[in-house]
Chain A
């Protein structure tokens, strides 16, 4: 017979021990090292860094190992770690025009200064399972070419020179920090971009896709997509100049959007912007489409009720750590509330039955 629920503590300990065993899998199979994950699961590592908003490939790889490959769980581990870190200061804005590009493609110009650089992309692979990989064969080295010294200017800058694209004056106001201030609406574009940069890739992708299918259409072209390393510089007050403290890999996407003009703006091309840590081009392109859709008000367009145009909807639901936590909390005990509902439904049913009987 039921006495009282006891044993929660023991159950938790046992669950954790079992989890650790499952994480390791069959001990006859060699254990994964963090370095293996970092080197061979690099795109998963990149996603965890981007959505965890912490640039540290080793920690991201460790999180993936600890999370048994559940990337959202890994993002969560990184976020929870990140929040405890002290803040020493902010870097200078990184100069993506000076990026050492591994990949740089433009869909709007056949050729352009700096050239088209395909880089290590899946784009033109045939998606046929490569059974040779199962055999763990050596990879022949890729052909090499000397690095080019040619500058790689932004496509939007080239359009800007002809006055064909909206002006984007430099702004000196410090960017807001979503992780240190509660989200307040309406949000500035900088704050929206910050939220989108760490937003769930799947959610951002679906929203961007919805704009392509007509829910807040923005007529986007990929003006430019570039992936590569940029220097991170920090201003040291004691020295009076900036010092390079390292480099990070970034993916940047500028969309060029057709725009017929509105009540307030002349016909010109407009911009959507995506910037994501690591090599995450699906996310960067999605982000720039959603960014552009969210700019309807500033550009004097109509609000058509599309989800991607709705700032409050997008910003309140784009974070996968918030989403997954709240979603999964419904598996916690709710029997107090359920009991209250049971009483209510029983009483209402009783009354409904009585009324029915009285009517007959």
Chain B
């Protein structure tokens, strides 16, 4: 049921137009952070207001929306955002990655490869990859203009010198189409390779910071590294205890107070689909598939 008191997908058409213009600009300059007149939304800043505004500007009545947080459809904030669009746009929703035309996500890229025509909308807390190296926006904008990314390379080098490896596990910086260094939002670096050459449109919305950026389909996206310390997309060295998948990103669940743990897919749709196909993990009631 649509709430008649509000325009389709909550935002008024002028605001959507302003956001769409920012989105087009962002797609035209991959990885570049486009300032936009972010609106105050009925959910708090930092809870996905950027993603919600981008999704609202993209949705049409025929769309099928999927919302995930930490890879799962049933986490509370994903439920809350999905309900928001059910209420204000009345669009169909789905938990199936393949069936969705628009997917709003926080912290994950679905395991199921995306296809042409799909839009993946990321919620972004801090869009500026250089922010924790230089707190001033006036400075970091200049650094992007001049393609001055030395500071970032020094940081990565210092990590290696100190820890033997690049000590960034999520929000791992990438370079888009050989030009802009971009924050892929706090996805685990395991997901970074999926950014590159992806047939879907990837849009990033940061509401509080009022920035939009994008990775067009089939873009070149490279995780920053060094020849002698190449980027490795790492994950827990286990298979999913429910579906047996050895190639998906896992959540660690503590099951008692003696340190017993199990590992399960963070992507709940992926895990459920595999279980429906008969795949079993170590702790499945019917036992693991051989």
Chain B residue with minimal CB distance to A332? B77
Question: Is there contact, CB below 8 Å, between A312 and B138?
Answer: yes
Question: Is there contact, CB below 8 Å, between B37 and A181?
Answer: yes
Give the contact stretch, choosing among B54-62, B145-153, B193-201, B247-255: B247-255
Question: Is there contact, CB below 8 Å, between A325 and B107?
Answer: no
Contact with A along B155-178 (1 / 0, CB 8 A): 000000001110101110000000
Any A CB within 8 A of the CB of B210:
yes
Q: How far is the CB of A328 from chain B (nearest CB, A)?
A: 6
Contacts of B283 in A (CB 8 A): 1
Q: How far is the CB of B127 from chain A (nearest CB, A)?
A: 12
- Point out the residue from B38, B187, B264 that lies within 8 Å of A2, measured CB to CB: B264
- Point out the residue from B80, B137, B210, B252 that lies within 8 Å of A342, measured CB to CB: B252
Question: Is there contact, CB below 8 Å, between B236 and A332?
Answer: no
Any A CB within 8 A of the CB of B280:
no
Given contacts A4-B268, A336-B266, contact A324 B44 (CB under 8 A): yes
Question: Is there contact, CB below 8 Å, between B38 and A182?
Answer: yes
A2 to B255, CA, bound (A): 7
Q: How far is the CB of A332 from chain B (nearest CB, A)?
A: 5
Any B CB within 8 A of the CB of A121:
no
A183 to B45, CA, bound (A): 16
Q: How far is the CB of B237 from chain A (nearest CB, A)?
A: 8
Any B CB within 8 A of the CB of A136:
no
Contacts of B77 in A (CB 8 A): 332-333
Q: How far is the CB of B34 from chain A (nearest CB, A)?
A: 9
Question: Is there contact, CB below 8 Å, between B190 and A333?
Answer: no
Question: Is there contact, CB below 8 Å, between B186 and A337?
Answer: yes
Any A CB within 8 A of the CB of B64:
no
Question: Is there contact, CB below 8 Å, between B190 and A340?
Answer: yes
Contacts of A321 in B (CB 8 A): 40, 44-45
Question: Is there contact, CB below 8 Å, between B40 and A83?
Answer: yes
A339 to B78, CA, bound (A): 19
Give the contact stretch, choosing among A207-215, A253-261, A277-285, A343-351: A343-351
Q: How far is the CB of B282 from chain A (nearest CB, A)?
A: 12
Question: Is there contact, CB below 8 Å, between B169 and A341?
Answer: yes
Contacts of B255 in A (CB 8 A): 1-2
Any B CB within 8 A of the CB of A175:
no
Contact with B along A168-204 (1 / 0, CB 8 A): 0000000000011111111000000000000000000
Question: Is there contact, CB below 8 Å, between B235 and A343?
Answer: yes
Any B CB within 8 A of the CB of A241:
no
Question: Is there contact, CB below 8 Å, between A5 and B164?
Answer: no
Any B CB within 8 A of the CB of A356:
no
Contacts of B78 in A (CB 8 A): 8
Contact with B along A313-345 (1 / 0, CB 8 A): 000100001101111110011111101111110
- Point out the residue from B46, B137, B188 that lies within 8 Å of A336, measured CB to CB: B188
Given contacts A80-B42, A326-B208, contact A336 B35 (CB under 8 A): no
- 28 A–B contacts from the bound complex (CB under 8 Å): A2-B253, A4-B74, A6-B74, A76-B44, A80-B41, A86-B12, A179-B37, A186-B138, A312-B136, A312-B137, A324-B44, A325-B46, A326-B46, A328-B44, A332-B47, A332-B77, A333-B75, A335-B251, A336-B108, A337-B188, A339-B236, A339-B252, A340-B169, A340-B234, A341-B170, A342-B252, A344-B169, A348-B167
Interface of A toward B, CB cutoff 8 Å:
1-9, 11-12, 76, 79-80, 82-84, 86, 179-186, 312, 316, 321-322, 324-329, 332-337, 339-344, 347-348, 351
4 shortest interchain CB distances as A-B pairs: A325-B45, A329-B46, A325-B44, A340-B169
Other A-B pairs, 13, CB within 8 Å; known A8-B74, A336-B107 = A8-B76, A11-B76, A84-B12, A86-B12, A179-B37, A185-B138, A326-B208, A327-B46, A333-B76, A336-B187, A340-B234, A344-B167, A348-B165
